[in-house]
Structure 1
């Protein structure tokens, strides 16, 4: 594939092709003997200040556009671990404006006519011609240094050949172009050159060839092959749902959740919880239920402090409020572990107690909650329909929070919710018929 030098290389090859073709056509006498093809912006093609201008052609790259056919061909370029799978290509179409300048009448038309005939007869740039032009740059000057670098563009080695097509620009488009150039209009024609494929080589992950389909038989040496079963349900252990207790929409610390699925069996069961977005994982022991499900109990929100430190998976400080990726791990009789698919679980804050104290018109609410709330979290207490922001948390984590508000009517009993990073504590008792507010999630206003 080409690299970042390919755009300049295309312009250089077209410039050389036009110049060589015009010289070979023998029209030097008709245009004054000297034929020049430049590749400059039109506003820089100036005369000598005497009212005359040089007779020449100018090839200007005025627009670069993505190629519709090749763009996006290599997506996706990275896997779930953000490791590179492919080197995506940058596919471009180049739009040129070919303009004739002349010192005398008819000279511009002669140059432009021969140039258009040459481009019409050479619609495809051959690989050999591209190599020859780029390998033999003119010598001398700073421009020659840039031209010598174009031999490294690999333009001749790209997958697609370079094709040249005429394009029609309407009066309005042409007028806008020359207005942007801030130059006097000269007779021009447009061409599209396609396609330039730019690709940089990077180290990437390349999997090894497959030697066997499944474990090989130690006696015969043959692999297990493709497993066939007469069921659309895969034979691998799979989770289909996570069911919090009491028909809740989320789980809380200290509660037992149920993992439902199929082919959930083994000698040992563990459940891994990975918190988003940092991916910190905690593993708890699970238990197989009689109907093929798995139950697991989350650590309590306020465990009694034992003499030694709590294990990491039992410490509520390691279970922040948020979304967890849950995976079941099962070990069979042979000691081999299998992991299920991943399902999300929402861990809600647990509002353990709330008290209210009034001083004049200001009511101060003190909330005890679990798990500990981190100082960086955004925390609100919703009293009835009033949302109160938490006072700043001084420690890295806290289980006691303070909120203040005014305008509350004394003697009212209002439901309360603790909102941590957009996740509310559970207010509704869904086991009641009809559902009702949980009486433990209320506060009486003094």
Structure 2
């Protein structure tokens, strides 16, 4: 971020950029940064004057530094102000030789070709002896680069700007916005050391609480988790006299237990207790001496349980010949779905030329069920690959693994045929 010299650095860098271009295009042209007073009061006889007439908070960055203080008033982070700067660039010169118009064309060309204030331009400005007062500027270290964009001002807006200058004649002008300048406070915030060991908190009586780092299928860390998967739970301090795993609202004893890993076959959980979608898992150490105590619990970790389609049934088929079909499709899956979960049916036609694809939401349900009903309409006749998505958890498709098959390594099921 940049310090209090940022605004002045932008103005000085803009002045140097325009000066380098104008002195080539118009002989004797110079660039000033004074208030547009009457001729002879600081504005050039031939040249351009840059005047910062407005500064406004940048709406995209204005709240990016929240929060800056803790409840006790100490700094949490350095406060940062985000500003957009608005410049009025006025052109002066011999009207007979159209010098103001030539200068305006040079300004527009230069800022359109080089709209970004580069770090090299900022370093060159700071190193210029003319701007020795900007030596401590750190605008070049700002994350967001400064960009110049023309501002469209109507006659009324230009009139309002020039009216604030007493007895100052109007000059050919254009407005530019410089965005964004991030000015950071010099206050030094305080930050505590990071937590070295999450079990070393002196306020808890359970210093040996289990910690779960990750959960994945025994088939592989990237393999999907389904109802028949065996979960591997990795962590630390997992082993205990009474180690239990809580998932799907019930507690189970893992099949294998060690201090760093637990194995839990999901097939041992009643199907009605498992729901597709995101599940919460915890490791619990039951305490013998505390009958009414829940025990020592680990952190909760999320896993995504993906459904599998068991059976597909179609009924109430309507439509003949080439007409689009409507029908009612019932899916039976291996997991329970609650009334609050969102269920979507995905159909993809098995075809090599312009295959059709459809999405249908399930009908509403009043109770938990493993049977899902979908009303299909305007569906093209054909064979379709079927998937069901429950709260973002999508069922798997079958892949042909026979090297001798013509559909080797292609999806082959489950399918639904709409005659």
Alignment TM-score, normalising by the size of structure 1:
0.44
Rg comparison, structure with higher value: 1
Alignment TM-score, normalising by the size of structure 2:
0.47
